[in-house]
Amino acid sequence: MPLGSLRIDVGTSIATAKDAPASAAASASGFVQLAPEVDFSYDGRGGSGLSPGAASLALAGDWTSGWELKGQAAASTDAKPLRVPFAKLKATPVIQVGPVPVVVNVGLTCYLQVDADGRVNVDIKQDLKGGFRVGGDYTHAKGWTPVNTSDITATSPRATVSAAGKVKATLGTEASLGLYGTVGVTADVAPYLRAEAEGEASAAMDGSASASGKWKAFGGLDLSGALQVQLKIFNTPVFEKPVPLGALHREWKIAEGAGAVSTGARRR
């Protein structure tokens, strides 16, 4: 069942490192466009007792985003990433399963998360497009089986990185999906950008000096979730504890670079 298309644009400043120059003010900008779908099915045939033969509950959809991170973000507070929710959506569509109306509850929270050491200055951009499906399938023989798939890919990457350090920024969506007011599936679709740079410098008594460094920028996607204890599709068994869906992790290199500079000895 499609739930329509949702587009959210975000442009915000990020806490900048205290010693950063004005030109290195940190910011994030871009958009997330999501067309979520509820994937639900139920087959009462083939089971034994009150259990059905098969069932399925998942959140799927098409994902498009454009995402840019600039500047020198401040170090994370207490070693915890900065996480800011910026949009929430709730919906309760009703779908018909034979003669039975089924009330589905869907919640989406879009968020920005930044984890940095306060040293690296970046300008990274990429666009993402693809689909995903997170949830579970049930059969009488096997019980619940997690489902966690995605074909989201990156295009139009661009990156420059200066100074030694690291930063990671995520523009993601937390989702919950359930029936009759309870939560059955939780998911986190989290595309991210990250950069890391390292360097070294040396100097001699004669005044000569040299510095060298190298950097890499990456894009990636983390997709995770769980089937929750409250989930009950008609007469399928209730979980004793959440069932992890497993974590889907993919990462790709956007760009990399290296360089060196040196100065000669002082004249006497």
pLDDT at 102: 77
Partners of residue 47 on adjacent β-strands = none
Cα 23 to Cα 121: distance, rounded to the nearest angstrom: 10
pLDDT at 2: 56
Cα 186 to Cα 230: distance, rounded to the nearest angstrom: 11
- pLDDT band, residue 236 (cuts 50/70/90): low
Going by C-alpha positions, the residue among 40, 20, 4, 66 that lies closest to residue 193 is: 66
Cα 95 to Cα 40: distance, rounded to the nearest angstrom: 9
Average pLDDT value for the chain: 76
Average pLDDT over residues 173-188: 80
Contact predicate 35/2, CB 8 Å? yes
Average pLDDT over residues 23-42: 83
Buried-state track 10-46, b at ≥16 Cβ within 10 A, e below 16: beeebebbeebeeebebebbbebebbbbbbbebeeee
CB atoms within 10 A of CB 112: 20
The model's pTM is: 0.74
Sign of the CA dihedral 182, 185, 186, 191? negative
- pLDDT band, residue 48 (cuts 50/70/90): low
pLDDT at 209: 41
- pLDDT band, residue 1 (cuts 50/70/90): low
